[in-house]
């Protein structure tokens, strides 16, 4: 690399990832400072910035989403009317699906959404970003945090990725080294399976003694439909077909404004059958007679996919330490029983902001906020909510029937379920995948479902609707540690599950007579929608997702 000098940016408070957690944290901190300075004899001035890898705020934001407004009510009590929700939740439906029938079920209390709002997370974070900027927070888009900076055991900031590096790893004429963004305290809200959070976890043992985090993948399309088909704010959740009883997950359908309808499916990434194909099952879900009727005559307009941390309270890593806090999905702030995480993510950012503010007011080093924040979380309503679902996901370790019993017992016992000692353990999701050449030879590929480009789409058609683009001439950001495993061992043992669990047709096994195995793994990195599924679900754990050049990736905006 050329020896161009690396820029250094010095800040007081750095948030990484412009999602709901970081933006709520940045807004809360800025407002606390403003209120303090209005009356304090000596004003406190802190430089606060948010780094975002997407081309703009919201470009990589994806969620269901039905939002519990509890955190927003605390954050913007005087501006609730201005928050760009789609609609308050109105009629709610819960279906048990078989292949042809939809049986209406009464909603359990955890799935009632009265008082919540259907939302586009992209629109919501854009609005929050404007609020943050108006409060003096700096937003830097197209900067991907690539490396955590640790000095004397304290997190000292992040190094962003270099720009202008070619496919071959050599600098191009536009080469620019990444920036060292140094801060007294760094708050990581990178989303699930964050690159920087993982580095910290490995370095500081943040997950020791916790359950391993387990994930699901959520796949979602937005449809534009003829008038009169549904009401804005009308929502459906479904269980059963096409996942039951093997897979954790279910369907969701949410009515937005302007005749737009969200359709999605969540599929646990802790499945046994290596032939599982979440994208295919999502497409199959739409062929149910009820969905077919709902979507008839419509047009699929947007697509996206994202991993979801489902492990709950026991799978949350140590949330803070010297100079850092983990926020939102990076800290496992998701209540899988309620299918909600946005309000918890926001609350995590706000709690971390309060820790930073308390340190600033007391004249202590801001790095100490990372030690205060976990205790603040433990005393918060976010912890109380997550405690109620602490053993929910673990029920799926032994399949759907056991999970239902566990969920029922959990509802009666304040979340204990059948965890006699109050904690159910669980293994990592990727270890549950069974080898085809070992115990269960009866696993078969899922029945095919040809694309018709009206209701059923293949991966490439969907990726097109995600607006994904990347600089083509850059190193592949999916790093496979040993490609020989893919073309030999993995073919026999798991039939290359990456070609199925990736929702964006990134991985292909193609013939190649120049290779000893006669085939090779082709990585179509520019299709990647940054869902992190491959990093999570690969049974050999040899795939590492690293941030590509800043600005690349999906352009969700409305999802
Ligand atoms: Fe998701 Fe990995 Fe596929 Fe990218 S390559 S879309 S991160 S599964």
**Is the domain of 275 the same as that of 133?**
no
**pLDDT per residue as tens digits for the range 264-279:** 999 999 999 999 999 9
CB of 504 sitting under 6 A from ligand 1: yes
Between the CA of 534 and the centroid of ligand 1 the distance, in Å, is 5
Closest by CA position to 49, among listed 147, 183, 200: 183
- Residues, the chain, total? 559
Please determine, for residue 452, whether its predicted confidence score (pLDDT) is greater than 60.
yes
Name the pLDDT band for 419 (thresholds 50, 70, 90). low
**Is the domain of 242 the same as that of 269?**
yes
Between the CA of 502 and the centroid of ligand 1 the distance, in Å, is 5
Backbone φ and ψ of 235, nearest 5°: -135, 150
**pLDDT per residue as tens digits for the range 141-198:** 999 999 999 999 999 999 999 999 999 999 999 999 999 999 999 999 999 999 999 9
CA atoms within 13 A on the CB side of 512: 12
**pLDDT per residue as tens digits for the range 486-523:** 999 999 999 999 999 999 999 999 999 999 999 999 99
The answer to whether the beta carbons of residues 434 and 273 sit under 8 Å apart is: yes
What is the rounded CA–CA span in Å between residue 99 and residue 519?
Answer: 37
**Is the domain of 338 the same as that of 374?**
yes
Backbone φ and ψ of 388, nearest 5°: -65, -20
Q: Is 242 a member of any domain?
A: yes
Q: Is 503 a member of any domain?
A: no
Report, as an integer, the average pLDDT of 343-372: 98
Write the CATH number for 178: 3.50.50.60
CB of 528 sitting under 6 A from ligand 1: yes
Name the pLDDT band for 441 (thresholds 50, 70, 90). low
**Is the domain of 136 the same as that of 267?**
no
The answer to whether the beta carbons of residues 461 and 508 sit under 8 Å apart is: no
**Is the domain of 50 the same as that of 143?**
yes
> CB-based contacts of 265: which residues, under 8 Å, 6+ apart?
218, 219, 243, 249, 250, 251, 252, 278, 281, 282, 285
Tell which one of 477, 505, 533 to mutate to probe ligand 1, the residue whose CB is within 8 A of the most ligand atoms: 533
**Is the domain of 329 the same as that of 379?**
yes
CB of 478 sitting under 6 A from ligand 1: yes
**How high is the pLDDT of residue 116?**
98
More confident of the two residues 41 and 422:
41
The answer to whether the beta carbons of residues 415 and 392 sit under 8 Å apart is: yes
Of 162-166, 314-318, 399-403, give the lowest mean pLDDT range. 399-403
Q: Is 435 a member of any domain?
A: no
| The domain boundary residue, chosen from 355, 388, 421 | 388
* Range(s) of the domain holding residue 267: 87-118+213-309
**How high is the pLDDT of residue 404?**
85
Sign of the Cα pseudo-torsion (18, 374, 203, 210, in order) = negative
**Is the domain of 189 the same as that of 51?**
yes
Rama region for 312: left / alpha / beta (φ>0; ψ in -120 to 50; rest): left
Q: Mean pLDDT score of the chain, rounded to an integer?
A: 95
CB of 537 sitting under 6 A from ligand 1: no
| The domain boundary residue, chosen from 286, 309, 332 | 309
Give the torsion through C-alpha atoms of 413, 414, 418, 423, to 10 deg.
-140
CB of 534 sitting under 6 A from ligand 1: yes
pTM, 2 dp? 0.96
Domains held by the chain: number = 3
CB of 26 sitting under 6 A from ligand 1: no
Q: Specify the residue with its C-alpha closest to ligand 1, atom 1.
A: 531
| The domain boundary residue, chosen from 309, 329, 362 | 309
Q: What percent of the chain has pLDDT over 70?
A: 98
Task: State the distance between the two ends of the chain, measured CA to CA, in whole angstroms.
Answer: 38
**Is the domain of 160 the same as that of 263?**
no
Q: What percent of the chain has pLDDT over 90?
A: 88
Report, as an integer, the average pLDDT of 253-263: 97
**Is the domain of 206 the same as that of 217?**
no
Q: Is 67 a member of any domain?
A: yes
**How high is the pLDDT of residue 411?**
84
**pLDDT per residue as tens digits for the range 472-491:** 999 999 999 999 999 999 99
Q: Is 135 a member of any domain?
A: yes
Write the CATH number for 228: 3.30.9.90
Closest by CA position to 217, among listed 539, 462, 550, 504: 504
CB of 530 sitting under 6 A from ligand 1: yes
Q: Is 556 a member of any domain?
A: no
Continuous H helices in 363-399: 369-378, 381-388
Closest by CA position to 350, among listed 329, 367, 328, 318: 328
Between the CA of 140 and the centroid of ligand 1 the distance, in Å, is 24
What is the rounded CA–CA span in Å between residue 171 and residue 224?
Answer: 44
- What are the DSSP E strand ranges found in 319-472? 320-321, 324-326
**Is the domain of 160 the same as that of 200?**
yes
Name the pLDDT band for 257 (thresholds 50, 70, 90). very high
**pLDDT per residue as tens digits for the range 215-251:** 999 999 999 999 999 999 999 999 999 998 888 999 9
**Is the domain of 251 the same as that of 285?**
yes
DSSP codes, 18-75? -SHHHHHHHHHHHHHHHHHHHH-SS-----EEEEESSSSTTTT-----EE-THHHHHH
- What are the DSSP E strand ranges found in 475-545? 478-480, 507-511, 519-523, 543-545
Of 126-130, 207-211, 409-413, give the lowest mean pLDDT range. 409-413
CB of 545 sitting under 6 A from ligand 1: yes
**How high is the pLDDT of residue 407?**
86
Q: Is 532 a member of any domain?
A: no
**Is the domain of 204 the same as that of 223?**
no
């Amino acid at each position: 690399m050329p020896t161009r000098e690396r820029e250094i940016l010095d800040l007081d408070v750095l948030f990484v990832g412009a999602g709901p957690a970081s933006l709520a944290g940045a807004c809360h901190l800025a407002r606390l400072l403003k209120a303090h300075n209005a009356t304090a004899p000596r004003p406190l001035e802190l430089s606060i910035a948010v780094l975002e890898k997407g081309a703009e705020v919201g470009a990589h934001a994806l969620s269901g989403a039905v939002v519990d407004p509890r955190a927003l009510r605390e954050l913007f009590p005087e501006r609730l009317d201005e928050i760009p929700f789609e609609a308050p939740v109105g009629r709610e439906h819960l279906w048990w699906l078989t292949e042809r029938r939809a049986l209406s079920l009464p909603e359990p209390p955890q799935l009632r959404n009265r008082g919540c709002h259907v939302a586009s997370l992209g629109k919501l974070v854009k609005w929050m970003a404007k609020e943050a900027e108006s409060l003096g927070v700096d937003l830097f888009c197209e900067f991907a945090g690539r490396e955590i900076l640790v000095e004397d055991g304290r997190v000292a900031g992040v190094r962003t990725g270099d720009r202008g590096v070619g496919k071959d790893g050599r600098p191009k004429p536009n080469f620019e080294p990444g920036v060292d963004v140094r801060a007294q305290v760094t708050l990581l809200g990178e989303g699930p399976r964050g690159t920087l959070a993982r580095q910290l976890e490995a370095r500081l043992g943040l997950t020791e003694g916790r359950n391993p985090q387990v994930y699901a993948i959520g796949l979602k399309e937005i449809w534009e439909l003829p008038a009169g088909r549904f009401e804005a704010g009308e929502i459906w959740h479904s269980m059963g077909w096409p996942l039951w009883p093997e897979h954790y997950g279910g369907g969701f359908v949410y009515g937005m404004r302007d005749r737009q309808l969200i359709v999605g499916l969540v599929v646990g990434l802790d499945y046994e059958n290596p032939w599982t194909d979440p994208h295919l099952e999502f497409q199959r879900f739409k062929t149910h007679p009820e969905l077919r009727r709902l979507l008839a005559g419509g047009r699929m307009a947007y697509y996206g996919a994202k991993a979801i941390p489902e492990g709950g309270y026991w799978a949350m890593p140590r949330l803070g330490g010297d100079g850092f806090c983990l926020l939102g999905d990076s800290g496992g702030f998701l209540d899988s029983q309620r299918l909600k995480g946005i309000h918890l993510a926001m609350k995590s950012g706000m709690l971390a902001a309060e820790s930073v503010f308390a340190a600033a007011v007391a004249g202590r080093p801001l790095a100490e906020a990372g030690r205060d924040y976990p205790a603040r979380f433990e005393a918060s309503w976010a912890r109380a909510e997550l405690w109620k679902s602490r053993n929910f996901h673990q029920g799926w370790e032994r399949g759907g029937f056991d999970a239902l019993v566990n969920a029922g017992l959990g509802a009666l016992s304040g979340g204990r379920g059948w965890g006699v000692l109050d904690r159910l353990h669980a293994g990592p999701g990727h270890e549950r995948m069974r080898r085809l050449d070992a115990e269960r030879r009866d696993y078969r590929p899922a029945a095919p479902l040809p694309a018709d480009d009206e209701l059923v789409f293949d991966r490439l058609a969907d990726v097109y609707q995600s607006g994904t683009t990347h600089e083509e001439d850059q190193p592949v950001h999916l790093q496979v540690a040993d490609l020989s495993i893919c073309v030999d061992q993995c073919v026999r043992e798991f039939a290359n599950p990456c070609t199925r669990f990736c929702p964006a047709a990134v991985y292909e096994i193609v013939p190649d007579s120049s290779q000893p195995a006669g085939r090779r793994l082709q990585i179509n990195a520019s299709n990647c929608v940054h869902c992190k599924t491959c990093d999570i679900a690969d049974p050999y754990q040899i795939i590492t997702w690293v941030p590509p050049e800043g600005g690349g990736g999906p352009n969700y905006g409305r999802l």
